[in-house]
Amino acid sequence: MSKIKVMDEILANKIAAGEVVERCMSVVKELVENSIDAGSSEIKVELQEAGTKLIRVTDNGSGMDKEDAVLSFNRHATSKIEDEDDLYRINTLGFRGEALASIASVSDITLKTSTGNVGTVVNIKGGKVIDVITGDARRGTIVEVKELFYNTPARLKHMKSLHTELASITEYMNKLALANPSIRFTLINNNNVLLQTDGSNNLLKTISDIYGMEITKKMVEISGEDDDYVINGYISLPEVHKSNRKHMINLVNGRVVRNVELNKTINDAYHSYKPDNRYPVVVINIEVDPSLIDVNIHPTKMDIKFSKMEELISLVNELTVGCLKQETKIVDIGDVKNVQDVKEDTCTKSTVTKKEEKSKIKYEELTLDFNIISESEEQYKKIPRMYPVGLVHGTYIICQNDEGMYIIDQHAAKERINYELYKNKLGTPNNESISLLIPVTIELTNNEFIVLKENIDLLKDMKFDIEEFGVNSIIVKAHPTWLPTSYEEESIRRIIEIVIQLEKGFKLEKFNENVAINLSCKMSIKANTNIGLEEMEALINELRNCDNPFNCPHGRPTIITYTKYELERLFKRSGF
Ligand code: ADP
Ligand code: MG
């Protein structure tokens, strides 16, 4: 007798559920995505105990008639794909027809739906149809899921804490809301409203519903396109940053996706504008012909493949770099305190209170001009005219003008100036070289020597005259003219160290960047150096000419300001 048996449908669904519905968050995801696909303009998600007791999703979409309502629970039942061709131009969030069947096999699910005429109620438990009766005629659909995973104890045991479940549901709902600003979303857990958007189709408004006004005021628009891609969205000014990448949100044709390369490109654009271990807030939507993407990689459909990835990366890079160059400004001390302390966890109660607070602020404030400097002359656009008045702790230059008071960290400023200088020099390698009176010999270990020999052309291109000199040693006879005076030997050794530490597949740009950061850091005035007013003025002028005068290469601020208003407020002068 044959040993192979064909599985019954209920068992097959239960197994598929393992992939499609792993946790409460996947159930919420599948149900809400169905509501979006059904053309809803309003979607409400109600949870009890983070969804472990109850998940109820109510929408005002197309609804289903009785026949479809029953059919929708069959495995591979979908209204979204008819033939193979459709698979290559998917523009709905769902398409596999697996979700409802899977959820129904591991829970007690009730579907109440109507196209506006007669309503239908279907109840299924553990994959078995319990009841199909006539229901309400309200157009739209309500899906209620109870006792999730009651018949799969292993899964139940693996469920994370309620807090973790709720946090990931909230995170995903936030993303869906950002992907669909024209839909009014509500998320409630145990009667606490965690998210409420207004469906006004204004992305910036949705951002403020989620992140609050302080951050929203510091989001700048990016937009651009090439032949294949249209990009729209908002990225945060460098002074706003978070401890993880969760707030870098990529949307592709309104679908929430995860793409490591895209986020890396955006984050790299902030390099030297913010600390490397902090991440910006980003919401970008990429519109592309569905045939150029593949969303069919994994059932949860978060990963995505692009056919013309390099083209996309270069467009995103160009847009973010351009945007940051244009939009950075002096950090206003009044803003700083709030922005970096905004709670990261969006599912705690304090978020709700915050939201109440911010709803008092008028929405018009969103259109605030980001550029606080109104000097007409080009050179004073980034850093206005200001006059040094003294030095504190040998480190901080205090300046003033009619607008307020400025504090410059002279070490950070010098680092920025030198960094841009070296980067420039490294980028135009047709520099002259200077012979050393006494050549520098450097001894290396055997493997360092091998690595250096492999990459020696790099140094030659930079105009170093460099040769092998006995066993595992090299001699440097000349160096590029721009090495910092009286630090030549130290710089040569530093650069050689960097060459030795090169990883495989490095890029010249990255190498130059590394050299520039290293040299600038070493050669800048150390803190606690007393300088006179004239030197201060010279330093400010040099800083003013930088591409980004506002941060040192490690992302720390070079200059902060107290506006006159801030000062008056701090001293509680009249009117405050
Ligand atoms: P998929 O979304 O991949 O098609 P599902 O199992 O999630 O598969 O849903 C099956 C079908 O049920 C959908 O194709 C759709 O026709 C219908 N459906 C599910 N949820 C809704 C809803 N909220 N409103 C209208 N139709 C729905
Ligand atoms: Mg679906």
The CATH number given to whatever domain includes residue 176 is 3.30.565.10
Whether 234 is covered by a domain: the verdict is yes
H or E stretch including 305?
A: strand 305-306
The total number of residues shown for the chain amounts to 576
| CB-based contacts of 7, cutoff 8 Å, min separation 6 | 15
**Cα 41 to averaged position of ligand 1 atoms, centre (Å):** 16
**Cα 79 to averaged position of ligand 2 atoms, centre (Å):** 10
| CB-based contacts of 547, cutoff 8 Å, min separation 6 | 325, 420
Within this chain, do residues 25 and 160 fall inside the same structural domain, yes or no? yes
Within this chain, do residues 47 and 179 fall inside the same structural domain, yes or no? yes
Question: In angstroms, how far apart are the furthest CA atoms of the chain?
Answer: 98
Closest residue to atom 2 of ligand 1, CA basis: 94
Within this chain, do residues 81 and 135 fall inside the same structural domain, yes or no? yes
Whether 36 is covered by a domain: the verdict is yes
Q: What is the pLDDT of residue 280?
A: 93
Within this chain, do residues 85 and 122 fall inside the same structural domain, yes or no? yes
**Cα 190 to averaged position of ligand 1 atoms, centre (Å):** 27
Residue to substitute in 31, 72, 80 for testing ligand 1 pocket (most ligand atoms within 8 angstroms of CB): 72
Q: What is the pLDDT of residue 241?
A: 85
Whether 208 is covered by a domain: the verdict is no
* DSSP symbols for 411-451: HHHHHHHHHHHHHHHHHS----EEEEEEEEEEE--HHHHHH
**Cα 132 to averaged position of ligand 1 atoms, centre (Å):** 17
Q: Which of 23, 122, 111, 121 is nearest to 59 (CA)?
A: 111
Within this chain, do residues 291 and 373 fall inside the same structural domain, yes or no? no
Residue 367 CA to residue 184 CA, distance in Å, equals 22
Domain that holds residue 450: 431-480+485-522
Within this chain, do residues 26 and 45 fall inside the same structural domain, yes or no? yes
Per-10-residue mean pLDDT of the chain, 576 residues long, equals 68 69 90 96 96 96 95 81 66 77 93 95 94 94 94 77 86 94 96 92 92 88 94 92 88 87 91 85 92 70 80 93 81 55 39 38 38 55 91 92 93 92 81 86 83 87 88 89 82 87 74 85 66 91 92 91 89 72
Residue 499: which CATH number? 3.30.1370.100
**Cα 96 to averaged position of ligand 1 atoms, centre (Å):** 10
Within this chain, do residues 222 and 297 fall inside the same structural domain, yes or no? yes
**Cα 252 to averaged position of ligand 1 atoms, centre (Å):** 21
- Binding site membership of 61 for ligand 1 (Cβ less than 6 Å): yes
Residue 262 phi/psi, 5-degree rounding, is -60, -50
Within this chain, do residues 371 and 279 fall inside the same structural domain, yes or no? no
- Binding site membership of 40 for ligand 1 (Cβ less than 6 Å): no
Residue 265: which CATH number? 3.30.230.10
**Count: domains in the chain:** 4
* pTM summary value: 0.69
Whether 207 is covered by a domain: the verdict is no
Within this chain, do residues 146 and 293 fall inside the same structural domain, yes or no? no
Enter the DSSP assignment of 387: E
Closest residue to atom 20 of ligand 1, CA basis: 34
Residue 405: which CATH number? 3.30.1540.20
> Residue 390: beta bridge partners?
398
- Binding site membership of 159 for ligand 1 (Cβ less than 6 Å): no
Within this chain, do residues 319 and 453 fall inside the same structural domain, yes or no? no
Closest residue to atom 21 of ligand 1, CA basis: 34
Atom of ligand 1 nearest to the CA of 143: 23
Enter the DSSP assignment of 242: B
Contact between residue 522 and residue 491 where contact means Cβ atoms under 8 Å apart: yes
Q: What is the pLDDT of residue 124?
A: 95
- Binding site membership of 414 for ligand 1 (Cβ less than 6 Å): no
Chain position carrying tokens 């104890």: 153
Nearest ligand to the CA atom of 97:
1
**Cα 21 to averaged position of ligand 2 atoms, centre (Å):** 11
Of 170, 201, 232, the one marking the end of a domain is: 201
Within this chain, do residues 162 and 301 fall inside the same structural domain, yes or no? no
Whether 209 is covered by a domain: the verdict is no
Whether 336 is covered by a domain: the verdict is no
Contact between residue 440 and residue 476 where contact means Cβ atoms under 8 Å apart: yes
Within this chain, do residues 173 and 33 fall inside the same structural domain, yes or no? yes
Q: What is the pLDDT of residue 373?
A: 39
Whether 426 is covered by a domain: the verdict is no
* DSSP symbols for 73-123: TSTT--SS--SHHHHTT--SS--SS-HHHHHHHTSEEEEEEESSSSEEEEE
Enter the DSSP assignment of 557: B
Chain position carrying tokens 């078995």: 128
